[in-house]
Amino acid sequence: MGYRQYRAASCTLTAFAMQLYTKITIALILGVVAGLIANALAIDPLARLLIAIEPIGAAWIRLITMVVVPLVFASLIVGTASLGDITKLGRIGSKTIVYYLATTAIAVTIGLVLSNLIRPGSGMSPEALESLRSSYMAEGASRVTLAQDTPGLVDVLMNMIPRNPVAALAAGDMLPIIFFAIFLGAAISALPTERRDHIVGFFDGLNEACMVMIHWIMKLAPYAVFALIGAVIARFGLDVLRSLLVYVVTVLLGLVLHVAITYTAAIKLLARRAPREFFRKIRGVQLIAFSTSSSNATLPLTMETAEEELEIEKEVSSFVLPLGATINMDGTALYQAVATMFIAQVLVGHISLTAQFGIVLTATLASIGAAGVPSAGIVILVVVLEGVLAGSGIDPAAGIALILGVDRILDMCRTAVNVTGDLTAAAVIERSEYEHALRGAGGG
Ligand code: ASP
């Protein structure tokens, strides 16, 4: 039985999506409630239980992450090989990158404007400051050490070309995998028809098998979501939230505005789709991104949703989405802008406009360098902080220590925005390709 028949036989698509979405939502709410009860009422056995079942969530993340490499590889080869025209790939590639950079810069700007208006760092009490510093300083220092191992932009570009594609596949290094798959796909498209169909058929089959695996794995998602969220909330320090409330609200407000303004406008004006419908179709992806805090772990579902629900052409989605999971992180960039401003407001006081312009540049680039895994954003934040705090004699570790306590919660929210940005981009690029084709047909 082929994949299409499998899908038709198992259930209709909408029924599957709705049912799953509802189950995941219920699991999420139950997880939050259980976590809050354990945390706020200090019920130790419940907290221990929630933390003990966390590995169920971690195992599920491994399971879905397992599909990432074969899925990206196979679908990108099929996508590229069926393009038929290599200039089209160059066009899609350049449009995607320009769009990604533009939306990320908008996100950072929203973060900066809000930080200037709300000034989240100005009302912080010295006691709260001291307690955060003493609780998180050691952890902050370890993030700084991690950040020092992060490769610079030139290295990132250089490393895109894999010396050995099998090693890249084995290590799950997304950019070199993307590079090689496109190269191979282009070569396949240059083969005589019979040969090409053979090999494309193989990868198409592999791609469909990955989709079947995703369906199976997604059936377990509600349990995983409960296990992941319950443990996060049970561990979460509610006191920390209180002292960082204005900062947290500023980040959340920024994220909401970016989705409500930037993405809604892009979906309506550029992708020419109905925003409400679009957001309804992708809410399952957002929930999984929120629960896992990882764009990479969400990628299989993001790709599936793009193709099956949003009906985006594979030649666009197979390229735009894996690239987006790796380099397009609007939520992360916005968060980095607010975090940097907050830390600078608390530790240094005033931040000049020039320094703020520097934040736009570095936060945009830093979000590209951040991997789509949990907590990547706060590690890369060190790079932005070093730029802003340079010369002030302040240790970036002290800044990181300030915000670490609420980072997981913000990570969940910014990851949901990151994947929303990727899906929006796929819809926008697809539409612009369609219009390009129409123009071509009209002109020719
Ligand atoms: N967790 C985020 C993601 O995977 C990255 C980050 O901001 O930490 O998209």
pLDDT digits (tens, 9 = 90+) for 272-291: 999 999 999 999 999 999 99
- Position 12 scores a pLDDT of 47
pLDDT in tens, 388-429: 887 777 788 888 988 988 999 999 999 999 999 999 999 999
Residue whose tokens read 């976590």:
35
> Residue 267: inside a domain, yes or no?
yes
pLDDT, position 33: 92
Provide the pLDDT confidence category of residue 13 given band limits of 50, 70 and 90: very low
CA of 2 to the centre of ligand 1 (A): 35
416 CB near ligand 1 (under 6 Å): no
pLDDT higher than 60, residue 29:
yes
In a domain, 213, yes or no: yes
Is pLDDT above 80 for 54?
A: yes
Q: Is the pLDDT of residue 91 over 70?
A: yes
Selected residue with higher pLDDT from 333 and 16:
333
Lowest mean per-residue pLDDT among 4-8, 93-97, 311-315: 4-8
Q: Could you tell me which residues come within 8 angstroms of residue 323 by beta carbon, excluding any fewer than 6 positions away? A: 96, 100, 178
* Mean pLDDT of the 67-95 span: 88
The dihedral of CA 150, 153, 155, 156: what is its sign? positive
Å from CA of 331 to ligand 1 middle: 8
336 in ligand 1 pocket by Cβ < 6 Å? no
Atom of ligand 1 nearest to the CA of 298: 4
- CB of residue 82 inside a 6 A radius of ligand 1: no
Q: Give dist(CA 247, CA 244) in Å, integer.
A: 5
pLDDT at res. 41: 82
Which of ligand 1's atoms lies nearest the C-alpha of 331?
7
The CB of 324 under 6 Å from ligand 1? The reply is no
pLDDT band at 340 (very low <50, low <70, confident <90, very high): very high
202 C-alpha to ligand 1 centroid (Å):
33
Band of residue 17 on the pLDDT scale cut at 50, 70, 90: low
User: Which residue in this structure is represented by tokens 């679908």?
Assistant: 75
Q: Residue 15: pLDDT band by 50, 70, 90 thresholds?
A: low
**137 in any annotated domain:** yes
Residue 14 lies in a domain: no
Quick check: CB of 80 below 6 Å from ligand 1? Answer: no
Tokens coding 263: 């993405």
Q: Would you give the end-to-end CA distance of the chain in angstroms?
A: 41
**Side chain identity at 282, as an amino acid letter?**
I
| Predicted pLDDT of residue 443 | 55
Residues across the chain:
444
Residue 334 CA to ligand 1 center (angstroms) comes to: 12
Read off the pLDDT band of 23 (50, 70, 90). very high
Residue 332 CB–ligand 1 contact under 6 Å = yes
pLDDT top residue among 307 and 154: 307
The answer to the question of residue 182 being in a domain is: yes
Residue 292 Cβ < 6 Å to ligand 1: no
pTM (2 decimals)? 0.89
Q: What is the pLDDT of residue 347?
A: 86
Report residue 34's pLDDT band, with 50, 70 and 90 as the boundaries. very high
Ligand 1 atom with least separation from CA of 373: 4
Structure tokens at 359: 């934040």
Per-position DSSP letters for 309-374, written without gaps between them? TS---HHHHHHHHHHHHHH--HHHHHHHHHHHHHHHHHHT----HHHHHHHHHHHHHHHHHS-SST
Read off the CATH number of the domain in which 335 is found.
Answer: 1.10.3860.10
* Domain extent at residue 410: 3-8+19-439
**pLDDT tens readout for residues 224-246:** 999 999 998 888 877 777 789 99
Residue of 295, 368, 423 to test ligand 1 pocket, by largest number of atoms within 8 Å of CB: 295
Q: Could you tell me if residue 116 is inside a domain?
A: yes
Q: Report the 10 Å Cβ neighbour count for 21.
A: 19
Measured in Å, residue 265 CA sits from the centre of ligand 1 at: 24
Compute the distance from residue 10 Cα to the ligand 1 centre, in Å: 33
- pLDDT for the residue 444: 43
In short, whether 35's Cβ falls inside 6 Å of ligand 1 is no
Measured in Å, residue 12 CA sits from the centre of ligand 1 at: 32
- Measuring CA to CA, how many Å separate 185 from each of 80, 207, 286? 5, 14, 30
| C-alpha–C-alpha distance, residues 398 and 408, integer Å | 18
Read off the tokens for 94: 């350049």
Please, which pLDDT band fits residue 16 given cuts at 50, 70 and 90? low
Domain annotation covers residue 285: yes
Confidence check: pLDDT of 149 > 50: yes
Kindly report, residue by residue over 258-271, the tens digit of the pLDDT.
999 999 999 999 99
Calculate mean pLDDT across residues 171-196.
91
DSSP assignment string, 239-297:
HHHHHTHHHHHHHHHHHHHIIIIIIHHIIIIIS-S-HHHHHHHHHHHHHHHHHH--HHH
Domain annotation covers residue 61: yes
- Amino acid 7: pLDDT: 53
Domain count, the chain: 1
How far, in Å, CA of 300 to CA of 225, rounded? 16
Cα(372) to centroid(ligand 1), Å:
5
| Residue of 332, 382, 412, 417 to test ligand 1 pocket, by largest number of atoms within 8 Å of CB | 332
pLDDT for the residue 115: 95
Calculate the average pLDDT of the chain: 88
122: number of Cβ within 10 Å: 11
| % of residues, the chain, pLDDT over 70 | 94
pLDDT above 90: percentage of residues in the chain: 58
Q: Which of 8-17, 70-79, 265-274, 324-333 has the least mean pLDDT?
A: 8-17
Confidence of residue 39 (pLDDT cuts 50, 70, 90): confident
CA 9 to ligand 1 centroid distance, Å: 36
